[in-house]
Amino acid sequence: MKVAIIDYGSGNLRSASKAFERAAGELGLTAEINVTSRPEDVTAADRIVLPGVGAFADCQSGLNAVDGMWQALEQAVHADGKPFLGICVGMQLMAERGLEFGVTPGFGWLAGDVVAIKPDDPSLKIPHMGWNTLNPKRPHDVLDGIVTGDDGLHAYFVHSFHLQVERAEDLVAETRYGGDITAIVARDNMIGTQFHPEKSQTLGLHLIANFLRWTP
Amino acid sequence: MLKSRIIPCLDVKDGRVVKGVNFVNLRDAGDPVESAKAYDAAGADELCFLDITASHEDRDIIFDVVSRTAEQCFMPLTVGGGVRTVDDIRKLLLAGADKVSINTAAVNDRALVRAASEKFGAQCIVVAIDAKRTSESRDKWKIFTHGGRKETGIDAIEFAKEVTALGAGELLLTSMDRDGTGDGFDLKLTRAISDAVPVPVIASGGVGSLDHLVAGVIEGGASAVLAASIFHFGTYSISEAKQYMARAGVPVRIDP
């Protein structure tokens, strides 16, 4: 199995690729984890991972700056239906628009916008940074075997914006931080996590393993 | 519910772990990658490396330490010490750091904080503030640079507000008066800064008991507590600290 982790200059991907290697190894899967900025690798991949840190607009323009990458992702993910995992801003890019520093178009694979978190308690700190639990909104294979809820496992979040989906069925899990925050989205062959599975120890490695054996 | 974080900090000099007491009298306490793996396994919420390597030539060692750590630890890693330029930050992030902390350079060059935040995102820019009470007032603190050796005369609360406005995503606040004493955080300082800024504050300096960790969150208003000696020399384990905090009513992450 070929897994392409898209490198477009947004942060370090070594820990992400190591986390995927570890998860694949624990499953006994022979997986070739390829950190790449070449559109042809996306075309050749069986599974695609889009990470992303920083601002929505920055990531969008970074991705667009890689010749042919945007189109290769559109084709592989949206048209060909390959299993896709977006992480943090990589997940937010699945939305129609990002509203951080002006209005920036995303892939539009999910109906909705990326908006600022507005906690109902103004003393809560922004970014929402640290370990939080997940509240599932509907079942999904990516959560198989992961204990959720208030007494469940924790995921590592660091963000000031989140994806507000228009269609309720696209929302798989939320987390709570002065209101409900989108934590996992999914539609067809696509999954997105606002938190960082590659930094989320037990929960993260389990979720990555679930993604690697997922059949949409 | 978001949990309060416990962050062990490893002072790294020439690729080896040390712990300063009041920033002098360094003791060698092992290999940073091995220590990082141990903390990862013990359930630490994040790790912090502070590079205190003196000579410029030896500073590249930290990149190797960071990259080997990031390959083995699936938890957030903050690295600070000697960060002067956007390029220093880029190199640390590329080596595998998730956040980079800036101390002296944030004071000397405020534009660096803005440039770094715009380039890499506020989420990975931590400004480390070393603060000391002034002799005039119990409720005033001035900041120090160069690992606490150089006085600046700048008010800590004003500086905290300023760097936050420039794009710092988190503050690592160390009390110079308490660091290495084991007497507990300067809670007034922690509370004053935490109330003054919208971003998370990591309390640091002075932890000698588990009560101090609890107080840092409840009385100081810190989002995270950082300690070195009590964990590093085995006085308490991360798990003991978390169980204690949980019993004291501080929400912490206890994952199997």
What is the predicted pLDDT for the residue at B22?
32
Average per-residue pLDDT in chain B? 90
Which residues of A are the active-site residues?
Answer: 88, 196, 198
Of A177, A202, A204, the CB nearest to B2: A177
Strand partners, A156: A131
Residues 6+ apart with CB under 8 A from A82: A45, A46, A47, A48, A76, A189
Task: Tell me the pLDDT band of B150, cut-offs 50, 70 and 90.
Answer: confident
Euclidean distance between CA atoms A49 and B241, whole angstroms = 36
User: Is residue B219 exposed (0-12), middle (13-18) or buried (19+ Cβ within 10 Å)?
Assistant: middle
Q: Do A131 and B2 touch (CB under 8 A)?
A: yes
Q: Pairing mode, if any, of strands A47-50 and A84-87?
A: parallel
**From the candidates B11, B51, B88, B179, which is the catalytic residue?**
B11
Q: Which residues of B touch A198 (CB under 8 A)?
A: 74
What is the predicted pLDDT for the residue at B232?
79
Of B74, B76, B123, the CB nearest to A159: B123
Amino acid present at A162: H
Asked if A11 has any chain B CB less than 8 Å from its own CB, the reply is yes
Annotation marks residue B130 as catalytic: yes
Of A18, A156, A7, A133, the C-alpha closest to B73 is A18
Q: Do B124 and A19 touch (CB under 8 A)?
A: no
Q: Pairing mode, if any, of strands A84-87 and A104-105?
A: unpaired
Euclidean distance between CA atoms A190 and B141, whole angstroms = 51
Task: Tell me the pLDDT band of B29, cut-offs 50, 70 and 90.
Answer: low
Once rounded to an integer, what is the mean pLDDT over residues B244-256? 95
Burial B84-108 (b: 16+ CB within 10 A, else e): eeeebbbbbbbbbbbbbbbbbbbbe
Of B3, B123, B223, the CB nearest to A154: B3
Q: Do B253 and A154 touch (CB under 8 A)?
A: yes
Stretch 98-137 of chain A: residues touching chain B, C-beta under 8 Å: 125-133
pTM, two decimals, is 0.94
Q: Which residues of B touch A196 (CB under 8 A)?
A: 76
Residues 6+ apart with CB under 8 A from B135: none
Residue B20 pLDDT > 50, yes or no?
no
Stretch 138-197 of chain A: residues touching chain B, C-beta under 8 Å: 150, 153-154, 156-160, 176-177, 196
Euclidean distance between CA atoms B77 and B44, whole angstroms = 11
What is the predicted pLDDT for the residue at A11?
67
Distance from CA of B70 to the nearest CA of A (A): 5
Amino acid present at B201: V
Asked if A201 has any chain B CB less than 8 Å from its own CB, the reply is yes
Task: Determine if the peptide bond prior to A127 is cis (ω within 30°).
Answer: yes
Q: What is the pLDDT of residues B173-195, one digit of tens each?
A: 999 999 989 999 999 999 999 99
Euclidean distance between CA atoms A113 and A29, whole angstroms = 36
Phi, psi (degrees; rounded to nearest 5) at B133: -60, 140
What is the predicted pLDDT for the residue at A31?
94
Q: Pairing mode, if any, of strands A135-136 and A2-6?
A: unpaired
Residues 6+ apart with CB under 8 A from B182: B206, B207, B208, B209, B229, B230
Once rounded to an integer, what is the mean pLDDT over residues B140-169? 94
In SS3 terms, chain B reads as CCCEEEEEEEEEECCEEEEEECCEEEEECCCHHHHHHHHHHHCCCCEEEEECCCCHHHHHHHHHHHHHHHHHCCCCEEEECCCCCHHHHHHHHHHCCCEEEECHHHHHCHHHHHHHHHHHCHHHEEEEEEEEECCCCCCCEEEEECCCCEEEEEEHHHHHHHHHHHCCCEEEEEECCCCCCCCCCCHHHHHHHHHHCCCCEEEECCCCCHHHHHHHHHCCCCCEEEECHHHHCCCCCHHHHHHHHHHCCCCECCCC
What is the predicted pLDDT for the residue at A156?
97
ipTM, interface predicted TM-score of the complex: 0.91
Residues of chain B that touch chain A, judged by Cβ-Cβ distance less than 8 Å? 1-5, 40, 43, 45, 67, 70-76, 93-98, 119-124, 169-170, 198-201, 223-224, 253, 255-256
Euclidean distance between CA atoms A168 and A211, whole angstroms = 22
- Specify the higher pLDDT residue, B27 or A8: A8
Percent of chain B with pLDDT over 90: 66
- Specify the higher pLDDT residue, B170 or B71: B170
Phi, psi (degrees; rounded to nearest 5) at A171: -90, 120
Q: What is the pLDDT of residues B182-235, one digit of tens each?
A: 999 999 999 999 999 999 999 999 999 999 999 999 999 999 999 988 887 778
Q: Do B122 and A127 touch (CB under 8 A)?
A: yes
Residue of A nearest to B75 (CA): A199
Residue of A nearest to B90 (CA): A11
- Of A86-100, B25-39, B115-129, B194-208, minimum mean pLDDT range: B25-39
Q: What is the mean pLDDT of each run of 10 residues along chain A (216 residues)?
A: 90 83 94 95 97 88 95 97 97 95 95 96 93 98 97 96 98 97 98 96 95 96
Euclidean distance between CA atoms B114 and B105, whole angstroms = 12
CB-side exposure of A178: number of CA atoms within 13 Å? Answer: 15
Residue B52 pLDDT > 90, yes or no?
no
Select the residue from B1, B2, B118, B124 to test the A interface by mutation, using most A Cβ atoms within 10 A. Answer: B2
- Specify the higher pLDDT residue, B130 or B73: B130
What is the predicted pLDDT for the residue at B152?
94
Task: Give CA separation, B40 vs B8, B17, B37, B47, in Å.
Answer: 10, 16, 5, 8
